[in-house]
Chain A
Amino acid sequence: MTPRAVILDVFVRGLYPLMLAASLWILLRGHNEPGGGFIGGMVAVAATAMVAVARGSDVAQRKMPLGPLRLAAAGVLLSLLAGLPAFAQGAAYMTHLWGSLPLGVTQVKVSTVLLFDIGVFCAVWGALGGLCAQVVSLDEEGGSESGPNPRGAGQPE
C-alpha cells in the first residue's frame, strides 16, 4: 500500500456501505420511481470498483457476497426461477404474481417482479463488479517491482 492511498482507503471504508445501501434503495424503489435492478447493480459495481482501486481487487471481491462468479450465477438463477411460479397459476412463463404481506400496521407488497429484479441486481453486480475488480488488479500486481521503474532500475544487483 503506497502512502498516498491512505486517505482514499479511509474514505472508501466509510463510503462503501453507504453506496451499497444506496444501490439497494435504488433497486427497491425501482418499480415506481427511477431506479431498478440494473441501475442499482451498476451503483454497486461502482462501489466495488472504488474498493478495488483503493484497497485492492482481492478485498473488493471478498466484500461481494458469495464472490463475484457465484453472485452472478445466483442472480441469473434467481431471475430464471422468478418466472416459474406463474406455472402454478396456469399462466405463461414470467407472468408476474403480486401479493401483499401484512406486517401489523403496514403492508408490504411482495411480487415475483421483485425477485426478478434482485436477480438482475445480483447478476450485474457479480459479473460487472468482478470484471471491474479484476481489470483494476491488472495494474496493481505487475506494477511496483517489474517494468521500467526509475527507482528500481538504478539499484545494483
Chain B
Amino acid sequence: MAGAHGTSRLGWLALLPAALFVLSLALYLAEGPPQWIAHIPWAESLGVDLALHIDGLALQFILLITGVGSFVFVYAAGYMAGDSGRARLYVLLLLFMFAMLGCVTADNLIALFVFWELTSLTSFLLVGFKHEDEGSRKSAQQALFITGGGGLVLLAGLILLGEIGESYSIVSLMASHRSWLDDPRLPAALVLIFVGAFTKSAQFPFHFWLPNAMSAPTPVSAYLHSATMVKLGIYLLGRLHPAFSELALWQVVLISFGGGTAALAMALTLRERDLKRILAWSTVSALGTLVMLIGIPGDGAATATAAFLLAHALYKAPLFFVAGNVDHATGTRRIDDLAGLAPALPFTAAAALLAGISMAGMPLSFGFVAKDLIAIAKTEGEVYAWIGYSSLFVSSVSVAVAGVAAIRIFWHRGGERLAGVREGGWALVMPPLAIALLGILFGPLPHLVDPLIGASAEAMRPLLEYQGLSFGLEDGSVLGALAAAVAIGALIYLFWDRLHSMLEALPWLDRFGPAAMYRRAVAAIPAAAAITPRLQNGSLVAYAAVLVGFAVLALAAALSTTSVPAWPGFERPSLAVAGACAGIVVASIAVCIVRDSFVLLLASGLVGLGCALIFLFLGAPDLAFTQFAVEVAFVVVIAAILLRLRRLDLDPAGPQRLWPRALAAVAFGALAAGLLLAAAGGPFDSALAEYFAARSVPDAHGRNVVNVILVDFRAVDTLGEIAVVAVSFVAAAPLLRLARERARRPAAGAPRLPVAAPGREAEHAAGATAAGKAR
C-alpha cells in the first residue's frame, strides 16, 4: 500500500460498473427501450418470477447506478487506501449495486421487494461500516429499522396491489389499471406503498434516518444516500405513476408530503454544522421535491421529475465527494473550522464551485434546466398556493447551502490556515470534477440527454407528448423566481451563523417530532426485554417445564376438538415386535426408578433403541437406521455433558420435586397417546404414498422411496435442512470453543496458584490498600 495518499488497487473494480454503463447505453442506442431481458419462472402458482424489464425509467436508473457507481468505485480506491476494511467495502458496494440494478429492472412486484430489502440490508452494513463506533452502529440500526420495516409495509401493499390487479407483473398491472382502479381496497394498498416509498426516500415522518446515515464512509454516502438508494422510493412511485396519476389520493398525499418534506428538511438544514449532514438534509429536501413532482399531474411534471433526478445526482454526488475530500485533508467536516481551503485544495474547490452552480440553479447549468422544468410543471399542474412559497424557501436555502459548500469553506477568509492540507491524489479529485463538469455541460447542451429524459418521462406518463429540453432562458418568470431565490439565499448565506445560533437556542425542538418518538420507542425496548430473562433463566429444568407445558396445552387444545377416538382392535404382533415393546417397557420403568443420571441416560437410550427395533421389524429399515445412529450420537454427547456437569459438581436434575414432574410426564404421555389414537382412528389418505411408490423408479431411477424423496422429489427441502444443520454448527462452534477455553483456563492456572477468583483477588487488594490507608 502506498501510504495514506495512495490508491487501492481495488479501484480497478470500477471497470465493472463502467462496463455495465457502456453496455446499457449501447443497448439503448442500438434498439431503444422497452425490452425484456430475462424471464425466469419461479413460483408460478404464486405469480412470482424473475422477469427483468427495461424501459426509459429503468434505463435512467441503470445509467445513474452504473455511472455514479463507476466514479464511486474510483473514489473509494483513494478514500479507503490503507484502510484494512476496503475489501469489505467493495464487496458490499458491489452487492448493493446488483441489488439496485435488480430493483429497477424487476417487473415482478415480489422480485422488486426482494431486491428492495437487499438494498436495505447492504445499506445497513454500509452505514455501520465503522462498526467499532457506537454512533455508527446506532445509525445503521436506525436505517435498518426504518427502511427495512418500511419494506415490510411495502410488501403488504404490493401483495394487496397484486391481488387487486390480479397480476404481479408491473407491466400488465399498468396496462390493465382502468379495470381495477375503483377497487375499494386500493386506498389501503396505496397507503402501504406510500409508507414503503417514504421510508426509503426519507420523507416525512421518516425523514430523520438519512442525516444519521452520514456516519457511513463518504463514498457510501455519495452513492447510496444521495445518488441511488434513497431514490428507490421515487423510482417506485414513478413506476406506478401511469396507473395512479389521476387519483386524488395519489396527488394530495404526494404533493403535500413531498412539498412539506422539502421545506421541513431545508429548515432543519439550518440547524446543522456538519458539512455532510447539511448536504444530507438538502438531499432529503430534493427527494421531497421529486415526490411532489410525481404527485403533480401533467406532462411537464414527468419531464421535470426525470430531469431533476439526473440534475440532482450530477451535483449532489460531487458535493459529497467534496465533503469527503475536505474531511480527508483536514480531518473535520465542521463548517466553523473550515475556511480558505481553495489554495490548498484547488481541484476540490473547482468541483465544489461547478456543483454549487448547478445546485443553486444558476443559468447555463443543468440544475437551471431542471429548475425551469419544475417551475413549468407547477404552473401547469395548478398546485396549492403554499407550494409556491415553500418552493421559494427551498430554492433559497439551496442557494445558501450551495454557497456554504462551494464558497464559504473554500474562499471565505478567516480561520487559521490548516497546515499540511493538500489534495489526496487523482482518485479523490477526478470523480467530483468529472461529474460536476457533466452537470454543467448538459446545461447549455441539453439535447445530449434529451432522448434519455424523454424516454424516462414517457415511461412515467405513457401518453406524454415530449417537448424536449430547452435552454429555458426565454421564460421571464423563471428568471424572476431565480433572482428572488438568489437574493434570499444570499441573505441566508450571510446570516447563516446567526440563524444557526438562533435555532440552537431552541433545544426543545429536539423533544418533538418523529425522531424523538423513534428515540423513545428504542429506549422502551429494554423494558420489554425484561420478560426474556424470566423465560430464559438458565435452568434446563425450567426450559423443559416450559416446553412440555406448552406442548401439553397445545395438544390438549388440538385434541379437544376431535371426537373421542375408538380403541383400535388388537392385532397379534410378531415375536420380534413384542420383544422390542417389552424392551421399551422395561427401560421406561427403569427410567422412572433410577436416580443416577448416567444410568438414566442409558435407560432412555434403550427406549430409543427399542423404537428403532420396532421400526426395523415393521418394515421401515431407513427409519430404524437413522434412529440407531441418532440414538448413539445422542447418548455419547449427553454422556459427555453429564460428565462435565458432574466434574463441576452440578446436579443436572436440580432439586427433586417428584409430583410436578410426574404430573407433567403423565399428562404429556397421555396426550401423546391420545394424539396417536386420533391419528390412527382417522381415515388414511394413501395418495402420496402411492404416488411416490409408483413414480420412484420411472422418474427417479431409485427403488428406495425414502431416499428418492429426500434427494430428488424434495431435494430443495433437503438442501434447506442440511444448510440449517451446517449453520447451527457454525453458530454452536464458537460457543463450544468458549466453553472449552473456560474449562482450560483454571486447569492451566490451577497447579501453582491458590484457589481464588480474579474478582476476589481484586477485592483483597482493594481491602489491603484501604487498610493500609487507615493505618
- Given A35-B707, A53-B636, A113-B702; A146-B746 close (CB under 8 Å): yes
Complex CA gap A144/B644 in Å reads 11
Distance in Å: Cβ of B748 to nearest Cβ of chain A: 8
Contact with A along B723-742 (1 / 0, CB 8 A): 10110111011001101101
* Residues on B with beta carbons closer than 8 Å to the beta carbon of A137: 640, 736, 740
A147–B644 Cα distance when bound, in Å, is: 10
> What per-residue 1/0 map shows which CB atoms of A123-150 lie under 8 Å from chain B?
1101110111011111101111111110
B734 CB to closest chain A CB (Å) equals 10
B747 touches A146 (CB 8 A): yes
Q: How long is the Cα–Cα vector from A22 to B58 in the complex, in angstroms?
A: 57
A-contacting 9-mer, from B22-30, B114-122, B188-196, B626-634: B626-634
Q: Is B463 an interface residue (CB 8 A)?
A: no
- Asked whether, in the complex, the Cβ of A126 is within 8 Å of the Cβ of B719, the reply is no
The majority secondary structure among interface residues of chain A is: helix
CA distance A75 to B751 in the complex (A): 43
Q: How far is the CB of A106 from chain B (nearest CB, A)?
A: 17
Q: How far is the CB of B647 from chain A (nearest CB, A)?
A: 4
Closest Cβ neighbor of B753 among chain A residues:
A157
Cα-based distance from A138 to B640 in the complex (angstroms): 7
B626 touches A132 (CB 8 A): no
A64 CB within 8 Å of chain B: no
A49 near B622 with CB under 8 A, answer: no
Across the interface, do B625 and A120 meet the contact criterion of CB distance under 8 Å?
no
- Among residues 32 to 89 in chain A, which have CB atoms less than 8 Å away from a CB atom of chain B? 32-39, 42-43, 45-46, 49-50, 52-53, 68-69, 72-73, 75-76, 79-80, 83
Q: Is A24 an interface residue (CB 8 A)?
A: no
Known: A135-B736, A139-B640. A32 touches B729 (CB 8 A): no
Residue B506 at the chain A interface, CB threshold 8 Å: no
Residue among B704, B707, B728, B754 with max Cβ neighbours from chain A (10 Å): B707
Query: Which residues of chain B are within 8 angstroms of A4 by Cβ–Cβ distance?
Result: none
Interface residue B554 (Cβ < 8 Å from any Cβ of A):
no
Contact partner of A68 (CB less than 8 A), chosen from B622, B707, B729, B739, is B729
The answer on a CB contact under 8 Å between B649 and A138 is: no
Q: Which residue of B lies closest to A136 (CB)?
A: B640
> In the complex, what distance in Å separates the CA atom of A99 from the CA atom of B711?
17
Hey, which chain A residues are within 8 Å of B722, CB to CB? 75-76, 79, 119-120, 123-124, 127
In the complex, are the beta carbons of B747 and A35 less than 8 A apart? no
The answer to whether B702 touches A35, judged by C-beta atoms less than 8 angstroms apart, is no
Which residue of the partner chain B has the closest CB to A39? Answer: B625
> Which parts of B425-447 form the interface with A (CB within 8 Å)?
none
In Å, the complex CA distance between A64 and B53 comes to: 48
Question: Separation in Å of the B512 CB from the closest CB of chain A?
Answer: 51
B730: A residues at CB distance < 8 A: 69, 72
Residues of A within 8 A of B744 (CB): 141-142
Size class of the B contact interface (CB-based, 8 Å): 35 or more
Q: Are B704 and A32 in contact (CB under 8 A)?
A: yes
On chain A, the residues within 8 Å of B737 by CB distance are 134
A68 to B715, CA, bound (A): 23
Which of A46, A143, A157 is the one whose CB lies under 8 Å from B754? A157
Q: How far is the CB of A145 from chain B (nearest CB, A)?
A: 4
Contact call B751/A127, Cβ cutoff below 8 A: no
Residues of chain B with a CB closer than 8 A to A127's CB: 722, 725-726, 728-729
A50 vs B633: C-alpha distance when bound (angstroms): 9
Cβ of B637 within 8 Å of any chain A Cβ, yes or no, is yes
Question: Which residues from chain A contact B712 at a C-beta distance below 8 Å?
Answer: 94, 96, 113
Find out whether the CB atom of A35 lies under 8 angstroms from the CB atom of B719.
no
Q: Within the assembled complex, what's the spacing in Å between the Cα atoms of A59 and B521?
A: 51
Nearest-Cβ distance from residue A33 to partner chain B, whole angstroms: 6
Contact B701 A131 (CB under 8 A): no
Interface string of B600-639 (1 = CB under 8 A from A): 0000000000000000000001100110011011001100
Cα(A101)–Cα(B737), bound, Å: 45
Inter-chain contacts of A136 with B (CB < 8 A): 636-637, 640
Give CA–CA (A127, B723) in the complex, Å: 10
B716 at the interface (CB under 8 A from A): yes
- A132 to B636, alpha carbons, bound, how many Å? 8
Do B747 and A145 touch across chains, with their CB atoms under 8 A apart?
yes
Give the Cβ gap from B154 to chain A, nearest Cβ, in Å.
27
**Which residues of chain A have C-beta atoms less than 8 A from B750's C-beta?**
145-146
Q: Which residues of A contact B746 (CB under 8 A)?
A: 142, 145-146
How many residues of A sit at the interface, in one of the four size bands? 35 or more
Task: Check if B708 is an interface residue, CB within 8 A of chain A.
Answer: yes
Q: B477 at interface (Cβ–Cβ under 8 A)?
A: no
CA A10 to CA B737, docked complex, whole Å: 28
User: B718 an interface residue at 8 Å Cβ cutoff?
Assistant: yes
Contacts of A134 in B (CB 8 A): 732-733, 736-737, 740
Assembled-state Cα–Cα distance A105/B405 (Å): 81
Interface residue? B703 (CB, 8 A): yes
CA of A109 to CA of B711 in the docked complex: distance in angstroms? 16
B648 CB–A CB distance under 8 Å: yes
A17 CB → nearest B CB, Å = 18
Please report the C-alpha to C-alpha distance between residue A34 and residue B735 in the assembled complex, in whole angstroms: 36
Chain B nearest CB: distance from A15 CB in Å? 13
Residues of chain A contacted by B723 (CB below 8 angstroms): 76, 123
With a CB–CB cut-off of 8 A, which chain B residues contact A80?
719
Q: B710 on the interface (CB 8 Å rule)? A: yes
Give the chain B neighbours of A146 by CB distance below 8 A. Answer: 647, 743, 746-747, 750
Q: Across the interface, which residues of B come within 8 angstroms of A37, CB to CB? A: 710-711
Among B636, B706, B743, the residue within 8 A (CB) of A142 is B743
Q: Which of B667-723 contact A (CB under 8 A)?
A: 700-704, 706-708, 710-712, 715-716, 718-719, 722-723
Residue of A nearest to B638 (CB): A135
Q: A109-B701, A130-B729, A147-B648 are in contact. Are A43 and B629 (CB under 8 A)?
A: yes
Contact residues in B for A139 (Cβ distance below 8 Å): 640-641, 643-644, 647
Q: Are B637 and A132 in contact (CB under 8 A)?
A: yes
**Chain A residues with CB below 8 A from B626, complex form:** 38-39, 42
Partner of B729, one of A38, A42, A69: A69
CB-contact partner of A45 in B633, B640, B706, B711, under 8 A: B633
Taking a contact as CB atoms under 8 Å apart, the answer to whether A142 and B644 are in contact is: yes
Contact status of A142 and B707, CB under 8 A, knowing A42-B629, A53-B636, A135-B641: no
Asked if A12 is at the interface of the complex by the 8 Å CB criterion, the answer is no
Tell me which of B633, B711, B751 has the highest count of chain A C-beta atoms within 10 A of its own C-beta: B711
- CB pair A147–B736 under 8 Å, yes or no, is no
Q: What would 20 more interface pairs be, CB under 8 Å, given A127-B726, A137-B740, A143-B743?
A: A35-B625, A36-B706, A39-B629, A42-B625, A46-B636, A69-B733, A79-B719, A79-B722, A83-B715, A113-B702, A113-B711, A117-B711, A126-B729, A138-B640, A138-B644, A141-B743, A141-B747, A142-B744, A143-B644, A145-B750
What 7 pairs between A and B have smallest CB-CB spacing?
Answer: A142-B743, A42-B629, A127-B729, A34-B621, A123-B722, A36-B707, A31-B702
In the complex, 14 of the A-B residue pairs with CB atoms within 8 angstroms, ordered by the A residue number, are A31-B703, A31-B707, A34-B706, A36-B706, A39-B625, A42-B630, A46-B629, A46-B632, A46-B636, A94-B719, A113-B702, A120-B710, A135-B637, A138-B743
Give the B-binding residues of A (Cβ under 8 A): 26, 30-39, 42-43, 45-46, 49-50, 52-53, 68-69, 72-73, 75-76, 79-80, 83, 93-94, 96, 98, 109, 111, 113, 116-117, 119-120, 123-124, 126-128, 130-132, 134-139, 141-149, 157
